[in-house]
């Protein structure tokens, strides 16, 4: 338990750095959150077609681990966000992730330019599946492959008060 506690605690320098961050509140549904801005800032969308999204991304220092590699959590966030964008439909509430499986096949270093593609595999009812590939753009090396399942029901309505939600 102590080892876990030690791993999760920030050292004094990191604690001071985090305490200096200015995080402004955002208007939900209108502005990006700190989380989205931190994890996705710098992604450049190159191509969008129905069921397909292609992006490029240069690995920034903020998303690297202690070895200078793109952190696995950042990869999971990319699979989640770019995977979901391949099945996004304007005017319909965003589907939510119900399952992700990620194979970490290589490493991306600070400054590497990545090519990220997401392809819709299909939809059945409210369920959709996507396949996300993250490659080193210069070498073609596959860094990660993510399989992403999402669910959304257009007719669902969240009701408040004594009523329950219908899914």
Please say if the pLDDT value at position 156 is more than 60. no
The CATH number, out of the four listed (1.50.10.10, 3.10.129.10, 3.40.50.720, 3.30.70.360), of the domain defined by the range 42-151 = 3.10.129.10
pLDDT band at 72; cut points 50, 70, 90: very high
Tell me the pTM. Answer: 0.74
Tens of pLDDT, residue by residue over 126-136, are 889 999 999 99
Domain residue ranges in the chain: 42-151
Q: Can you tell me the distance from the alpha carbon of 7 to that of 3, in angstroms, rounded to the nearest whole number?
A: 6
Q: CA-CA distance, 49 to 52, in Å (whole number)?
A: 5
- Alpha carbon 101 to chain centroid, angstroms: 13
Distances (CA, A) of 62 to 41, 53, 93, 113, 161: 10, 24, 30, 15, 42
pLDDT in tens, 81-128: 899 888 888 777 778 888 999 999 999 999 999 999 999 998 888 889
Q: What percent of the chain has pLDDT over 70?
A: 78
């Amino acid at each position: 338990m102590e080892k876990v506690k030690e791993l999760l605690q920030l050292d004094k320098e990191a604690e001071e750095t985090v305490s200096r961050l200015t995080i402004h509140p955002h208007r939900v549904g209108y502005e990006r959150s700190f989380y989205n801005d931190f994890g996705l800032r710098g992604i450049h969308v190159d191509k969008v077609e129905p069921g397909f999204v292609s992006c490029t991304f240069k690995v920034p220092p903020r998303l690297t681990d202690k070895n200078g590699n793109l952190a696995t959590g950042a990869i999971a966030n990319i699979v989640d966000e770019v995977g979901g964008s391949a099945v996004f439909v304007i005017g319909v509430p965003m589907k939510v992730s119900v399952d992700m499986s990620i194979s970490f096949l290589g490493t991306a270093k600070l400054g590497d330019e990545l090519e990220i593609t997401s392809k819709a595999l299909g939809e059945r009812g409210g369920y959709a599946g996507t396949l996300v590939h993250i490659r080193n753009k210069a070498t073609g090396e596959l860094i990660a492959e993510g399989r992403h399942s999402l669910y959304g029901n257009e007719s669902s309505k969240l009701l408040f008060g004594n009523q329950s939600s219908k899914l």
